[in-house]
């Protein structure tokens, strides 16, 4: 047994109740900090798993917008993004494309942008 432990058990007059309280408080704080670090590490791991970002340059076809993956395969844009992120797609037609495709049956509504 260590000397300080021996004195504590024998009631060393130099060790006060305040000293014991301070030591226990420090040990408690260390355990709390260790627990917080473990919790933060787990949350960080979970967030890294959930957050999947698309980074860098994506080789994309100028015509059909397919994306070339690292193996050289061409994959539809929607499938590539869905496979590399949490994004989900729905489809519709912007007014310009609706006019191009169905202009003979739809009234023209101008669309700003692109």
The rounded distance, in Å, linking the Cα atoms of 68 and 52 is 18
- Specify whether 99 is located in the same domain as 71: yes
Residue ranges, the chain, pLDDT below 70: 1-12, 51-55, 108-114
> Number of structural domains, the chain?
2
Supply the pTM of this predicted model. 0.43
Same domain assignment for residues 33 and 73: no
Residue 105 pLDDT: 83
Residues 50 and 44 sit within 8 Å (Cβ to Cβ): no
Question: Chain-centre distance of CA 112, in angstroms?
Answer: 34
The pLDDT of residue 1 is 47
> Do 25 and 42 belong together in one domain?
yes
Specify whether 7 is located in the same domain as 42. Answer: yes
pLDDT recorded at residue 38: 97
Q: pLDDT of 22-48, one tens digit each? A: 999 999 999 999 999 999 999 998 887
Q: Are 43 and 68 members of one domain?
A: no
Q: Are residues 76 and 27 in the same domain?
A: no
Pair 93, 109 in one domain = yes
Domain containing 19 equals 3-50
Average pLDDT taken over every residue of the chain = 82
For residue 108, give every residue at least 6 positions away whose Cβ sits within 8 Å of its Cβ, in sequence order, or none: 95, 99
- Give residue 8's pLDDT: 53
Last residue of a domain, one of 50, 67, 88: 50
* Ramachandran region, residue 12 (left: φ > 0; alpha: ψ -120 to 50; beta: rest): beta
The residue among 2, 46, 84, 31 whose CA lies nearest residue 76 is 84
Structure letter (DSSP) for residue 60? B
Residues 109, 69 share a domain? yes
């Amino acid at each position: 047994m260590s000397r300080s432990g021996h004195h504590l058990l024998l009631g060393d007059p130099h060790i006060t109740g305040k000293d014991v309280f301070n030591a226990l408080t420090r040990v408690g704080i260390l355990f709390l900090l260790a627990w917080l670090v473990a919790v933060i590490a787990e949350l960080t791991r979970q967030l890294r798993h959930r957050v999947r970002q698309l980074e860098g340059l994506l080789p994309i076809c100028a015509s059909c917008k397919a994306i070339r993956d690292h193996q050289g395969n061409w994959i539809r844009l929607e499938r590539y993004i869905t496979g590399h992120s949490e994004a989900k797609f729905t489809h519709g037609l912007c007014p310009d494309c609706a006019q191009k495709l169905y202009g003979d049956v739809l009234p023209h509504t101008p669309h700003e942008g692109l």
